[in-house]
Structure formats: C-alpha cells, structure tokens
C-alpha cells in the first residue's frame, strides 16, 4: 500500500473524487447526464487551470498569490481589446492573444522580482496581485462590456463532436504530460527540493523559477479566458478567491507546499474535489455557508495527512 | 618522447578573506592519470585551494593551467567545461528525487524532441550502481528516492554523480567518510580504473593509511602555502606528519595548569547520531577539555547534540550523575549547558538589538523570566561587562557596533551570567584578532577555575594546545585518541587527527 502511494498521493485525491461523484449521483440522479457533466465541468475548469499553473510555482519552492488578480487583468484586457477593435472575429482573436500576452507578462514580472531580485515570494506576489488588480480597475472600472456572441457560443459549444470544455481539459492534461517529460520538470523539482544542491549542480536556478511563474501566468490567462467565455463580459473583480482556492487544490492534490514533490495531475483532481464538495453540499440541502467551512476542514486534513506522510 | 602536459598545475595561488590570509603561496602539480593526495592540518588552505580549482571561490592571484592551458576558472560551470568535477560531502543531492534523477541532474539524456530518455537514464544509472555491486545494499537502484538511502548509499550516489559527468580531473574531498571498508575498497578500485583511463584525481582524506594505499604523490600544505611534494613510494607517514606540523618548538605552554583532579561532571556514554558513533568520555569539574582532529569529524555534532540543537539518536549523557537528554536548546540551558559558537551571525547574535539584550538573553531563558525590568538588568550586566575589558558606547548600542572579538566577549558574558555547569565552545575564536583572543582565553580559564567544565572544539590546533590539559581527537565520528601530558603536542595532535596511532 505504501509502495503504491509513494509519490502518488494523488491516488487518494482520486479516491475522494470518486466517492464525491458517487454521493453526488445518489443525491442528484441526473448528475451523469452529459449536459449536466458539461455544465459542472464549465464551472470547475477555471480553478483546474489556475491550480495546474500554481503547481509549477509550488514545485519550485515558491508560491503565487497573484493568480486571481492576473485572471481579472486578463479578462478586462481581453474584453477591452475586443471592444476597441469592433467585436469582429479578428478582434476576438486579437483579444485572446492580448489576454495570453498579459498573463505571461504578469508571470514574468513575478518571476523576475522573486528569482532575480530575490524578494520573498509570498509577499511579492501578494503585492503584485494588488498592482494587477489596480491595473484591472484602471482599464475597466465597472463590470460590463459584453463579448461578441461567437466568443461565448464557441465556449459553450464544441468541436469534433466534443464540448469545448472537454477539449480544453484534454489539452491541459496533454500539456502537463509533455512538461513532465522535459528536463525542466526534474530540474524545477530539484530547485524546490533542495535549492543549494540545485545551485551546486550548476542548474540555472533563477531561470527555472521564472519559468514556473511564466507557466502560472499562462494558465491563469487561460482560466480567465474560460471564465470570460462563461460570463460573457468583463469584470475587474473577477477571480478574487482563485489564488487561495488554487493553493488548496495543490495541497489536496498531494503537492508539498515546501516544494520538490508532487505534480499538476494531483492539483487537477484537487480542484475537481473542491468543486464537487460544493455540489454535494448544495444537493444535500445543507446551507451554502457550510461549503467554505467544509472545504477549509478538508484542506486542513490534507495538510495534516501530508505532514504525517512526510514524518513517517 | 615529449611529456604530455600535466593535468593541473597551480603556482603562486593566493587568497585573502578579509584580513585573513587563507593562501599565501599554494602550489600543486597533478600529472595526467595521477592520484594526488593533498594533506595538511586544519586551516592550512587545502579546502580553499580545491574550491578555487572547482571554480566556487575566486583566487586573488596565481596561475592555474589545465592540460597546459591557462584557465581563469571563474565559476563552477567554467571548471566543469575544463573537465574538472568536485565531489561534495553534502548539499549536492536532492532528497525528493530518485537516484537516477540526481545523478543526471542538469545532464539528462535526451531522446527525440528533447524529451528525457528515462530508459537510457535509468539504465546508465543502474550500470553505474553496478560498479558498487554487492557492497551497496539491495535497496539501491536507479528508481530509489535519495531520501530513502542510508548515508553510505548517499555518498556512493555523490561519487556516481561525479563519475557520470566523465570529468578529466576529479577532486575527492573526504569522499570515503561515510563508507565502510568494503565500499572503500571498491571506491579505490574505481579510482585506479580511472587512473588507467587517464583521469587524474585530487584526494583529500583524514586517513593517512588510505592516502598511502591509493595515492601516487602527496602535496603537503601548511599555513596557506605548499611545503612539499612527495612520491608516495619514497616517503612514509611519519615524515609526512612532520611536514604537516613543521618544526615548531613549543616552549612551556602559557597558562598551563595541572590536570584537573575534580569530580566527574559530564559523563557521555556511547552517544551517536549523524556522523557520531559510540562516543564516550568523562569531563571533570573545572576541566578544559579539547575536541581535536580535522574539521568535520563529528566535533560540532557532539556539541550540537549536548546543546539539544540536534539531539543524539543513541547513548546517554549524565550531568553531575543525573541523566539529561535535551531535545532542544532551552532544555539544555535549563539543565546547565551554555554554548558559544564561532558562527556568531548564525548561532549567537540578535542583529540590530542592543548589547544589553544580547548579553541578557541566556539568563532570561534560564530564569524563565516573564517580566523584564530593563533598569535592574542593565545594573546587573554593567558590572559584569566592565570586567571583560570591552569598550562600547553604551549598553544600548547595537551589537553590530562591536568588532568580532568584542562581540564574542559579549556572547560569553551571556553565559557567565547564566552560570552554566558546562560551557560548550564551538570554534569560538573564528575570525577574532589576537588581542581579543587572549582576553577570551583568560575569561575561559577564570570560568574553569570556578568549577565550570569547558568543552572546546577549535579548527586551530594552537588554541587547543594553549588552553587544554587534555584533548580528545576525533576521526570519522569516533574518538580515536585521548591525548594529555607529554603526548599532547602539535605532532601528536596531527598524527592522531590522521588516524595514526599515537
């Protein structure tokens, strides 16, 4: 049992997810209908994306508290660019590109300040998050500015006989699988696991940490585009809970907050677990207020479990 | 037949760290395919020279040629590009990664599209591990996580990590410290195989018998300069020890007191943990007991264990007949231990806080003070600090306004006020000037007169020789010699440090 779980803590997360799916199906018999599954996945997908990006930063021994603010900044940038260019199909593409560019730029700023100027990651990304939020409010002070129909219809629809959200999820899994097989993944874990050893081995520690923040910014941007597809408008206050939820998902997925151990697949499952907890509470008829409480207790339990495993 | 250029020639290498001259004139010549031992007492500069060759420390001046070609060796990468690899005793492995991931870290075998070729990586790792087949243990494979390895397996992993880089010159700094006899034999056969392939090695070891078993030539350093270069076949351990010590004629030692005849105060009974193995000794009341030997042989670990900073994993400690087992420094302080460390920035100073706060801290812990009256405290410490010959602007001045030597006097005052039964000194004279050192020694002697037992580790043998009546010499985590009386001199210390019977 222990050999099986060694380095595969996400198996526990997967088990928890299956239990939640079972309970949810019992409470809500049509849960497994394709349309219901799709609408659930649409709700969960932004957190999945942000959590996957957050995983790389955490693996490298850092943390990114600015991801929620990046989501908001990317959203207002995208809708503003689309509106400014007249809402044509080309304008939508330009808006998507601008959003992704902004996400990468935010990640680059975080990475440079943390890895090159060597500021504390937790304080730095807390502060840059405030700056990004401020920029978002400057660009779009009030919620509004609807996106063209093609944007949200495309997101709600599908291609190749599959819903768009499923394609996005599959693409995320494919990207993480590719990254996991690059030298980058091992070196990043080395940086998070034992920074002095990584340095003495001649690894480009700073560049690896910047790379992790870039990935975090990229995935936050993708999450923002999904949220925009869902809400179909701009909102400078979007995604405020995503930073801490993504860290919860990372922890639930078995990635050590100290760095060096874990992987994005676990975080993906962790994000789905967090979403399913909300579902189950809703369909069990419990007051909504319990959702946060239960999520908090579960994250605490996951942290305690991680510590117990590490101490054995 | 024209001679091939030497693998490495270093001449006139100098290095200063602040006011301290680490190297004044280091020379080293290592032939192609030669195993070259670098020997010397603590602080002779051999580690500094190796770090310069490995590119982790920059030299001030001097010429270093690799295969006849002048090289600046400005960074670890530059040294690696020149074909030089260094074996690190610690800090180079990532515990969360597997053996294969560690060994190939930064040099991962790539397959199509730049993806890591895991099969090739694990196969080449298992092939490397195969060189230690039969002596490395069953649970040791490419896929084992380093966190799950025993200390000897970790050391073997470090060795394999160096070999996987296929260097032309390898620096082995204490590469055999954690290995058992059979593993050392395998390691030596690897070193000889490398020699046959034309790979040169620089070999630092705390065991002269190993040096004479594997090395072709020996360079001896003393006080930052190279004093000689010998062929192993033409010399013997006795001559090498004499070269390391030099011809110092020690007069009567200053401040030497008759051996203490007090009652036993501290009984250490078979403690272990980390490098330490089965260490046992008794220290008496009023005794100043030295912990000697080369650096990193377990002396610091013993002090950290007694002080509760890194608790022992086995054995027992008796203080005045009662067992003590501190799990953290606060326990040790209340039991009556004190510690003065040479690494003031890490272990002692509260930077930016006042001299008074820095001096009072241990007393406050010992007395479990809950309410602190600054006026009463300063009256108490003013008197005590006045006796230390320390000049300061006022008790409220920040600790950083004092020189290293004067800071150290404040930190020892911290313990004088707490009246410890046992004072532990961990390389306390590091980086302090001679005048302050003399004052410092006087304080220690006065403290011992009052019955306090003092345990001192120093990286300078001269400190031990001038302070102690008795020195326990550590080698590989064990006490290998207990020197006192006429046996306690520079030659005896050096010989014992290198594992030669006294």
Residues B153 and B23 in one domain: yes
CATH number of the domain bearing residue A128: 1.10.3470
CA angle A16, A18, A19 (to 5 degrees): 65
- Give the pLDDT of residue A1: 45
Residue A229, CA distances (Å) to A225, A301, B235, B294 in order:
6, 34, 82, 68
Residue B491 inside a domain? The answer is yes
The C-alpha atoms of residue B234 and residue B231 are separated, in whole angstroms, by 5
Q: Which residues of B touch A198 (CB under 8 A)?
A: 94, 105
Answer yes or no: is A31 within a domain: yes
- If asked whether residues B119 and B230 sit together in one domain, one would say yes
Closest CA to A240 of A91, A11, A75: A75
User: Global pTM?
Assistant: 0.78
User: Which of residues B245, B278, B307 is at a domain's end?
Assistant: B245
Query: Which structural domain range is residue B49 located in?
Result: 8-245
Name the residue range of residue A147's domain.
7-311
Cβ distance A189 to B95 less than 8 Å, yes or no, reads: no
B235 with B278, same domain: the answer is no
**β-pair partners for B17:** B20
* pLDDT tens profile A221-238: 999 999 999 999 999 999
Q: Rounded to whole angstroms, how far apart are CA atoms B298 and B301?
A: 5
Same domain, B269 and B234: no
Q: Is residue B368 part of a domain?
A: no
Query: Do residues A154 and A147 touch, judged by C-beta distance below 8 A?
Result: no
* B144 shares its domain with B275: no
A contacts of B56 (beta carbons < 8 Å)? 200
Cβ pair B97:A189 closer than 8 A: yes
- In terms of CA atoms, which chain B residue is nearest residue A205? B106
* Positions in chain B whose pLDDT score sits under 70: 1-3, 19, 89-91, 247-261, 387, 389, 391, 431, 433-435, 500-502
Is B97–A187 a contact, with Cβ atoms under 8 angstroms apart?
Answer: no
Under a CB-based contact definition with an 8 Å cutoff, are residues B9 and B64 in contact? yes
- A2–chain B Cβ distance below 8 A for any pair: no
pLDDT of residue B433: 67
Q: Is A205 helix (H, G, I), strand (E, B) or coil?
A: helix
Query: Is B444 found in the same domain as B473?
Result: yes
Whether B384 is covered by a domain: the verdict is no
Chain center to CA of B493 = 16
In a domain, B223, yes or no: yes
The answer, for A261 touching chain B at a CB cutoff of 8 Å, is: yes
Q: Please count the other Cβ atoms lying within 10 Å of the Cβ belonging to residue B346.
A: 8
pLDDT at residue number A208: 96
Provide the pLDDT for residue A307: 67
The pLDDT tens digits of the residues spanning B474-497 come to 988 889 889 888 888 888 888 888
For the residues of B355-402, what is the DSSP string, one character each?
HHHHHHHHHHHHTT-SS--HHHHHHHHHHHHHTTT---S-TTSBGGGS
Per-residue DSSP letter, B297 = S
In a domain, B182, yes or no: yes
ipTM for the whole complex: 0.86
User: What's the pLDDT at B130?
Assistant: 87
B315 and B238 assigned to the same domain: no
What pLDDT does residue A4 have? Answer: 53
- Consecutive H or E run containing A275: helix A264-283
Position B473 scores a pLDDT of 92
**Does residue A255 form part of some domain?**
yes
CA distance A82 to A80: 5
Spell out, as residue ranges, where chain A has pLDDT lower than 70: 1-8, 306-312
Whether B207 and B162 map to the same domain: the answer is yes
Angle, vertex CA B293, rays to CA A196 and CA B478, nearest 5: 85
Interface of B with A (CB under 8 A): 56, 76-77, 80, 88, 91-97, 101-102, 105-106, 108, 110, 114-116, 118, 145
Pairwise CA distance, residues B463 & B445, whole Å: 13
Q: Verify that B270 and B193 share a domain, yes or no.
A: no
How many structural domains compose chain B?
2
Number of A to B CB contacts under 8 A, please give it.
65
Q: Are residues B190 and B159 in the same domain?
A: yes
B402 occurs within a structural domain: no
What tens digit of pLDDT does each residue of A60-95 get?
999 999 999 999 999 999 999 999 998 888 999 999
Cα–Cα distance measured from residue B277 to residue B481, given in angstroms and rounded to the nearest whole number: 14
Q: Is residue A189 within 8 angstroms of chain B, CB to CB?
A: yes
> Which residues, in sequence order, are CB contacts of B2 under 8 Å at separation 6+?
none
Please choose, from the candidates B495, B486, B432, B436, the residue with its C-alpha nearest in 3D space to the C-alpha of residue B461: B495
Kindly state whether A200 is in contact with chain B, defined as any CB-CB distance less than 8 angstroms. yes
Q: Are residues B332 and B473 in the same domain?
A: yes
What does chain A come to in residues?
Answer: 312
> Quick one: closest CA in A to B98, which residue?
A186
Within a domain: B383: no
CA-to-CA distance for B411 and B274, rounded, in angstroms?
A: 27
For residue B254, what pLDDT is reported?
46
- Please name which of B219, B420, B422, B204 lies closest in space to residue B317, comparing C-alpha atoms: B422
CA B17 to chain centre: 18
Provide the pLDDT for residue B177.
75
**C-alpha A166 chain-centroid distance:** 16
Please give the tally of structural domains in chain A: 1
Whether residues B108 and A183 touch (CB distance < 8 A) is answered with yes
Q: Which domain-ending residue is among B218, B245, B272?
A: B245
Helix, strand, or coil (residue B278)? strand
CATH of the domain at B134: 3.40.50.300
Chain A residues with CB-CB distance to B116 below 8 A: 181-183, 186
Domain boundary (B245, B275, B307) is at B245
How many Å apart are CA A165 and CA B321, to the nearest integer?
73
The contacts of residue B85 (CB under 8 Å, 6+ apart) are B54, B162, B165, B167, B169, B170, B171
How close A204 gets to chain B, by Cα (Å)?
Answer: 9
Q: Tell me whether residue B250 is in a domain.
A: no
Residues contacting residue A286 through CB under 8 Å, at least 6 positions apart: none
Q: Are residues B193 and B229 in the same domain?
A: yes
Report CA torsion sign: B219, B220, B224, B226. Answer: negative
């Amino acid at each position: 049992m222990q050999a099986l779980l060694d380095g595969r803590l996400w198996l526990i997360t997967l088990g928890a997810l299956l239990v939640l799916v079972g309970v949810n199906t019992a409470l809500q018999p049509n849960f497994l209908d394709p349309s219901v599954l799709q609408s659930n996945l649409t709700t969960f997908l932004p957190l999945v994306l942000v959590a996957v990006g957050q995983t790389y930063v955490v693996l490298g021994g850092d943390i990114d508290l600015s991801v929620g603010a990046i989501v908001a900044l990317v959203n207002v940038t995208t809708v503003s660019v689309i509106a400014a260019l007249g809402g044509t199909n080309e304008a939508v593409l330009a808006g998507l590109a601008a959003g992704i560019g902004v996400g990468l730029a935010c990640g680059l700023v975080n990475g440079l300040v943390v890895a090159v100027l060597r500021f504390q990651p937790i304080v730095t990304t807390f502060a840059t998050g405030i700056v990004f939020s401020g920029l978002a409010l400057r660009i779009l002070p009030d919620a509004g500015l609807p996106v063209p129909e093609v944007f949200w219809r495309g997101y709600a629809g599908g291609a190749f006989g599959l819903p768009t959200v499923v394609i996005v999820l599959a693409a995320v899994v494919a990207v993480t699988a590719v990254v996991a097989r690059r030298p980058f993944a091992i070196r990043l874990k080395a940086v998070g696991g034992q920074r002095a050893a990584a340095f003495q081995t001649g690894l480009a520690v700073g560049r690896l940490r910047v790379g992790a923040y870039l990935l975090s910014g990229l995935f936050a941007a993708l999450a923002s585009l999904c949220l925009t597809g869902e809400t179909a408008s701009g909102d400078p206050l979007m995604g405020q809970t995503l930073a801490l939820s993504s860290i919860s998902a990372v922890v639930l997925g078995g990635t050590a907050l100290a760095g060096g151990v874990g992987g994005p697949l676990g975080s993906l499952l962790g994000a789905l677990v967090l979403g399913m907890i909300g579902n189950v509470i809703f369909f069990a008829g419990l007051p909504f207020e319990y959702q946060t409480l239960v999520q908090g207790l579960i994250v605490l339990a996951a942290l305690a479990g991680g510590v117990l495993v590490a101490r054995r | 037949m024209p001679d091939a250029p030497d693998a490495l020639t270093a001449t006139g290498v100098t290095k200063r760290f602040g006011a301290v001259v680490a190297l004044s004139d280091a020379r080293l010549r290592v032939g192609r395919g030669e195993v070259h031992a670098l020997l010397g007492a603590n602080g002779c500069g051999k580690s500094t020279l190796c770090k310069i060759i490995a590119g982790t420390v920059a030299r001030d001046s001097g010429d270093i040629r690799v295969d006849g070609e002048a090289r600046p060796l400005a960074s670890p990468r530059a040294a690696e590009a020149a074909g030089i690899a260094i074996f690190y005793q610690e800090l180079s492995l990532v515990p969360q990664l597997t053996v294969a991931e560690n060994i190939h870290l930064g040099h991962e075998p790539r397959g199509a599209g730049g993806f890591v070729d895991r099969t090739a990586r694990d196969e080449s790792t298992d092939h490397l591990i195969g060189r230690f087949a039969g002596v490395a243990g069953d649970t040791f494979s490419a896929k084992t996580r380093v966190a799950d390895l025993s200390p000897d397996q970790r050391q073997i992993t470090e060795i394999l990590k160096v070999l996987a880089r296929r260097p032309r010159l390898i620096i082995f700094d204490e590469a055999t410290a954690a290995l058992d006899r059979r593993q050392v034999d395998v390691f030596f056969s690897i070193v000889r195989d490398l020699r046959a392939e034309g790979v040169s090695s620089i070999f630092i070891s705390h065991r002269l018998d190993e040096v004479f078993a594997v090395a072709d030539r020996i360079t001896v350093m003393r006080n930052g300069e190279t004093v000689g270069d010998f062929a192993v076949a033409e010399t013997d351990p006795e001559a090498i020890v004499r070269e390391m010590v030099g011809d110092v004629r020690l007069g009567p030692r200053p401040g030497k007191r008759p051996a203490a005849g007090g009652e036993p105060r501290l009984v250490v009974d078979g403690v272990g943990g980390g490098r330490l193995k089965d260490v046992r000794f008794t220290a008496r009341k009023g005794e100043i007991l030295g912990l000697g030997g080369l650096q990193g042989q377990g002396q610091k670990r013993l002090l950290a264990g007694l002080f509760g900073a890194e608790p022992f994993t086995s054995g027992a400690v008796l203080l005045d007949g009662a067992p003590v087992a501190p799990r953290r420094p606060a326990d040790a302080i209340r039991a009556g231990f004190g510690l003065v460390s040479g690494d003031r920035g890490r272990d002692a100073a509260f930077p930016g806080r006042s001299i008074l706060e820095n001096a009072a801290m241990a007393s406050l812990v010992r007395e479990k003070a809950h309410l602190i009256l600054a006026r009463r405290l300063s009256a108490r410490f003013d008197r005590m600090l006045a006796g230390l010959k320390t000049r300061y602007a006022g008790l409220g001045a920040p600790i950083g306004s004092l020189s290293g030597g004067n800071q150290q006097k404040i930190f020892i005052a911290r313990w004088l006020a707490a009246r410890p039964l046992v004072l532990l000194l961990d390389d306390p004279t590091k980086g302090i000037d001679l005048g302050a050192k003399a004052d410092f020694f006087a304080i220690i002697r006065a403290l011992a007169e009052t019955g306090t037992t003092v345990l001192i580790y120093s990286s300078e043998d001269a400190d031990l020789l001038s302070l102690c009546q008795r020195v326990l010499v550590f080698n590989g985590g064990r006490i290998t010699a207990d020197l006192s009386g006429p046996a306690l001199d520079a030659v005896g210390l050096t010989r014992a440090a290198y594992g030669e019977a006294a």
